[in-house]
Amino acid sequence: MGRESFAGKIVVGVDGSPASIEALKQGWSIAGAMGSELVAVACWAFPQVYGGYVAMGVEDYEEEARGILEESLSQAFGPSVPEKVSPRLLCGPVRDLLIDASRDADMLVVGRRGHGGFAGLLLGSVSSACVAHALCPVLVVHASESS
């Protein structure tokens, strides 16, 4: 019953990289054509710590991720983010959170940040995991040449 109340949802993984900015732009292009909502997801996590102790200064991780999300939206859309764009800041492992977000999405869009000996051919670990395990179609976007 819930699916009839909206036109759909495109989820975009955002990490502040040029590829994720391009993913936002491409995701919005698709969402706009479909009349869908775009959900921009940025993830953060506490660092793995030694022996279970929490390191000093970890409270800044969430704020840093929030700033990256806001700056990414600004770079992709300018000063006025479209009304159908919803930012989401989530805590946990990026791969798991994006795959979980794919459960009720029509498409998941991620940027390619893979590095390796064959530049341009390899996917990064997050985009590879999303391609292999997402529960909806996945679009992997390269950064534009002008980025």
Residue range of the domain that includes 131: 7-46+56-141
Domains in the chain: how many in total?
Answer: 1
| Distance (Å, whole) CA 114 – CA 111 | 9
- pLDDT tier at 116, thresholds 50, 70, 90: very low
| Residue range 19-32: mean pLDDT, rounded | 96
Q: Is residue 75 a part of any domain in this protein?
A: yes
Q: Is residue 117 part of a domain?
A: yes
Q: What is the pLDDT of residues 37-66, one digit of tens each?
A: 999 999 998 776 655 566 566 668 899 999
Element (H, E) at 132: helix 125-133
Residue 28 domain-assigned (yes or no): yes
Residue 103 lies in a domain: yes
Query: CATH code at 112?
Result: 3.40.50.620
In the chain, the percentage of residues whose pLDDT exceeds 90 is 65
- Is the residue at 12 inside a domain? yes
d(CA 2, CA 114): 37
Which residue stretches of 9-89 are H helix? 18-34, 60-77
Least Cα distance to 139 among 107, 115, 114 occurs for 107
Considering the entire predicted model, what is its pTM?
A: 0.84
Write out pLDDT tens, residues 76-108. Answer: 999 999 999 999 999 999 999 999 999 999 999
